[in-house]
């Protein structure tokens, strides 16, 4: 079963996005729910841009147990090397044999493979060029953001709430008091390793989404000003 990962969202980023939405409603005359959906599309598109396809391989790290075992077995290995040069059998103590067995069974490296289980899998390997290092689903994060942006755009055009293997998108209205209501959109990217692969990407998407919305509004005001002055 996939793990759930909650990301702490920066309240400043949320406030900026809320201000951009309020401005869109004031200046364009669109409805609140339309402005919220438009902002959501901008956030998803910003997440898509931030999820750059860079890494071709999973990270390799040293196995600390192997390092310790190698140090502990140094005496046994020296005896074996010396005995081999003389064509004799090494005379090891019981403790040296234990350390040597531990050293021989440990892999010197781990392949750090992120998965939907939450914590990464550590795959033991003796080869830094192990074929398992290749990231077979390379670019999945960008594709998920891209699909999410597309589904949100479809919702702007009357489409229903959407759900897929790695995402969910839902719009609803909350009533707060008599005759009042708030529109909300929930975007869920279910890649549990997203923040590990792209640290801070959630808040980056919020920040850049708000910036993109403000930029669109600025351009709109410039066009209106030019038209009025012509």
* Tens digits of residue pLDDT in 150-199: 999 999 988 889 888 888 998 887 655 554 557 788 888 888 888 888 88
Tokens of 133: 């290092």
Report the C-alpha gap between 140 and 133 in whole angstroms.
16
Beta carbons of 208 and 46 less than 8 angstroms apart: yes
Report the C-alpha dihedral over residues 220, 52, 164, 172, rounded to 10 degrees. -30
CB atoms within 10 A of CB 161: 13
* Three-state secondary structure of the chain: CCCCCCCCCCHHHHHHHHHHHHHHHHHHCCCHHHHHHHHHHHHHHHHHHHCCCCCCECEEEECHHHHHHHHHCHHHHHHHHHHHHHCCCCCCCHHHHHHHHHHHHCCCEEEEECCCCCCCEEEEECCCCCHHHECCCCCHHHHHHHHHHHHHHHHHCCCCCEECCCEEEEEEEEECCCCCEEEEEEEEECCCCHHHHCCCHHHHHHHHHHHHHHHHHHHHHHHHHHHHHC
**Confidence at residue 230, expressed as pLDDT on a 0 to 100 scale:** 60
Report the C-alpha gap between 210 and 84 in whole angstroms.
70
**Span 33-79, pLDDT tens digits:** 899 999 999 999 999 999 988 678 889 999 998 888 888 888 888 88
Domain boundaries in the chain? Answer: 11-53+139-229, 59-133
**Confidence at residue 1, expressed as pLDDT on a 0 to 100 scale:** 35
Report the C-alpha gap between 230 and 225 in whole angstroms.
9
Tokens of 135: 């990231």
**Span 16-39, pLDDT tens digits:** 999 999 999 999 988 888 999 999
**Confidence at residue 192, expressed as pLDDT on a 0 to 100 scale:** 83
Report the C-alpha gap between 96 and 104 in whole angstroms.
12
End-to-end CA distance of the chain: 62
Q: Which of 122, 75, 77 is nearest to 104 (CA)?
A: 77
pTM recorded for the entire structure: 0.66
């Amino acid at each position: 079963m996939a793990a759930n990962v909650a990301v702490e969202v920066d309240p400043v980023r949320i406030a900026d996005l809320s201000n951009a939405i309020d401005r869109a409603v004031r200046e364009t005359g669109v409805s609140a729910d339309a402005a919220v959906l438009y902002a959501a599309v901008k956030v998803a598109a910003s997440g898509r841009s931030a999820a750059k396809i860079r890494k071709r391989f999973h990270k390799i790290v040293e196995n600390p147990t192997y390092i310790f075992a190698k140090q502990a077995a140094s005496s046994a290995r020296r005896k074996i090397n010396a005995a081999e040069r003389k064509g004799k059998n090494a005379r090891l103590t019981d403790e040296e044999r234990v350390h040597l067995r531990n050293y021989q069974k440990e892999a010197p490296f781990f392949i750090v493979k992120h998965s939907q289980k939450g914590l990464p899998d550590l795959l033991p390997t003796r080869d830094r060029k192990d074929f398992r290092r290749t990231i077979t689903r390379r670019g999945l994060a960008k594709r998920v953001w891209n699909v999410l942006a597309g589904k949100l755009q479809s919702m702007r055009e009357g489409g229903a709430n959407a759900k897929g293997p790695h995402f969910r998108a839902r719009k609803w209205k909350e009533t707060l008091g008599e005759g009042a209501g708030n529109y909300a959109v929930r975007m869920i990217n279910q890649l549990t390793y997203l923040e590990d692969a792209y640290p801070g990407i959630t808040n980056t998407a919020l920040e850049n989404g708000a910036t993109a919305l403000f930029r669109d509004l600025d351009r709109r005001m410039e066009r209106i000003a030019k038209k009025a002055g012509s």
